Chain A
């Protein structure tokens, strides 16, 4: 096996001082499927961005096919036959599939775009590599799996020999994932090399020839996939027990706080994202939703918190249905929400920390005094929360954007938890933030639960779900496939089967515990 990509001693330090890659050596052999794994923030995306020319290394050398290269932009990488499919697709929604495939280098006849050739080229590539697409379809109307295939065709159109796929299965259904794997095998069979970024160890075992593990910007090791188990990979990724030991005093089943009945949600493209979901939230309990991202968790949270309209169902809190009500009405019933998309929904970046902390309470006493806001009080309350939640800032009047990611999340957590919520819905509460803040937030969630709040936890971090939750529910393709009343008694493998829809409890089995 001959190395086709050699990244030697790559160092990447960003302007803000973050060391994303610290002396990484990464080699890929021609014709192999090479998995690159690591947690969020391990540095794998950065490494690939460097390989694709989007970023420049602070130090280090890249050798492609024996020749040392220096990429100033992704166009240079493309010239060297490297293609990349990003997590968020780079497609023009109103163009056709075929137009997107050839975008930037359209075939020309007599100075004008050769429409027939555009279609032909697309069809040929599609057939050659077994990547089914509808060349005439408008990209906006095709599903995610097809969009991804369009992205792959784009790279093949530009003669890519080395394909980098960044978390490709994150948005795919299991069937689409299998289709993708079939396509990857076809590509490799025809001589291409595939680098596959993922944090799903099962997929690593299924498809890759070799796997490289990264952690905290360093390369931990490269092994043949057949010689390593998932537990071993997990250990390399984290370096300690993946499963956290968070002490939780056992709680007895207390009163029902939110009754979720028959909730459905349909996406704008007509896809039923949630189908008839029902379960209950109880006081003093963390209910974790385990599922691969994209199975309806996001929409479930949005619908329960008033951000999106449902396609049916009820969510009853304190005797009243809060589904399809305004966010304020939902909040008035005592439901707080830590949003998944914290920069978009959770904060106003240019507003002060103090003012971010009051968005759910500024209109009532004591914050509102007569017709004015009591800014002295707002300042003091802000100081209290900053102290209580350990938010690192010299001054509560600074804009939220001056804070680090972890501290921004603490602002959100401080606000949502300090309203003494009846129900807390937390979506990806520790995603992408530093270790210290993560631990703190998890402890706060447990504290809240022990004090009697009903907590709904949605997280892509399975170990987090399993360690924090008292009860777990698995969500697959918008339906609940299983409920596990004692989170401590179920294994990751077992959960995985339900998360992937391979196993499915019957309604009778589930009814008792939902």
Chain B
């Protein structure tokens, strides 16, 4: 396979559609992570909550036959896990990362434990019939050549994910509560003196992040795939956190970062069909993050140094002028 073939396949509708598809379960936890992070309580349990959401959605849909009920159940489960983390961190002073680790542990252990009890299988839930969310063939857009194939026809969750970026932006920057959350994250003392309850705000922020993470999980088990698998989140919760940092904690930036990860993941899949061993190619997203974080950090340092050099030059010139008088 030549380079030309590779490039051509990357520019294909199939590939671009796959980027959108693969990015979705990253955008969800990233958005959740964003809200929690700007409020000062970065949610380290996104991974575990995704697993819990994925599991709950599948199981409830199998037992009730109702997709929407299942989604609601998944969201509730996610919120409860997030609140548990909040309870221990905010009220009992458990360290956030360790608390997150505990929730993740509970989630991976708990989901497999319950999976075995409910299905007798420890690997996945394919023995029960769970449902998936419908796809949406967008009326006019689906007929547009090229663009239509890329954008239309995805599961509802995908459109929800992209919409949520916009909603999160409005929430954080245009509503009172979202603004208060940002204030709490940056200067909790100031927020307190203005009557904003820091603890409550943080609990709510965590709850919201739980909703997003749960949706992300359900996106995995109820959209393209129709079953739950052990450790289904496969690190996406952590990538979501990485995306928050990479995106400089701004909704648009986080979206772009999530798309970057999705793109890298999709590319590694594509390149896997060339005889490049898939594992090395699969490291691309992770290496990208490290490189991006490094670049960002180094750039910050450089910018500060540049600024200081400029100030110094101005200062010395001013001194010299002053002496000349």
Contacts and interface: CB of A to CB of B under 8 A. Distances in A.
Chain A–chain B contact at Cβ < 8 A: yes
Interface of A: 73-75, 78, 90-95, 99, 103-106, 108, 111-113, 154, 264, 266, 268, 270, 272, 275-276, 311-312
Contact of B312 (A105, A106, A312): A312
Given A78-B195, A90-B189, A104-B196, 9 more contacts: A73-B195, A99-B179, A111-B175, A264-B316, A266-B312, A275-B319, A276-B319, A311-B311, A311-B312
B176 A91 contact: no
B119 interface: no
Given A75-B195, A113-B175, A104 B180 contact: yes
B186 interface: yes
The 3 closest A-B pairs by CB, nearest first: A104-B194, A90-B190, A270-B311
A98 to B, nearest CB: 12
Counting chain B residues whose Cβ lies within 8 A of the other chain, the interface size class is 20 to 34
A106 B187 contact: no
Contact of A92 (B186, B195, B315): B186
Interface string B173-195: 01110011011001101110111
Contacts of A90: 187, 189-190, 193-194
25 contacts: A74-B193, A78-B195, A90-B189, A90-B190, A90-B194, A92-B182, A92-B190, A93-B186, A94-B186, A95-B182, A95-B186, A103-B190, A103-B194, A104-B180, A104-B191, A106-B176, A112-B174, A112-B175, A113-B175, A113-B179, A272-B311, A275-B315, A311-B315, A312-B315, A312-B316
Nearest to A112: B174
Contacts of A103: 179-180, 183, 190-191, 194
A268 B304 CA distance: 8
Contacts of B316: 264, 312
B contact patch SS: helix
B308 interface: yes
Contacts of A276: 319
Given A104-B194, A113-B176, A92 B187 contact: yes
B176 A108 contact: yes
B301 interface: no
A312 B175 CA distance: 47
A467 to B, nearest CB: 35
Contacts of A92: 182-183, 186-187, 190-191
A297 B308 CA distance: 20
Contacts of A112: 170, 174-175
Contacts of A311: 308, 311-312, 315
B174 A113 contact: yes
B106 to A, nearest CB: 30
Interface string B186-209: 110111011110000000000000
A105 B315 CA distance: 42
B307 interface: yes
- Most B CB atoms within 10 A — which of A78, A104, A268, A272? A104
A276 B170 CA distance: 49
Given A103-B194, A112-B174, A266 B180 contact: no
Nearest to A271: B311
Interface in B277-325: 304, 307-308, 311-312, 314-316, 318-319
A272 B183 CA distance: 30
Given A90-B189, A270-B311, A275-B319, A95 B183 contact: yes
B163 to A, nearest CB: 17
Contacts of B312: 264, 266, 311-312
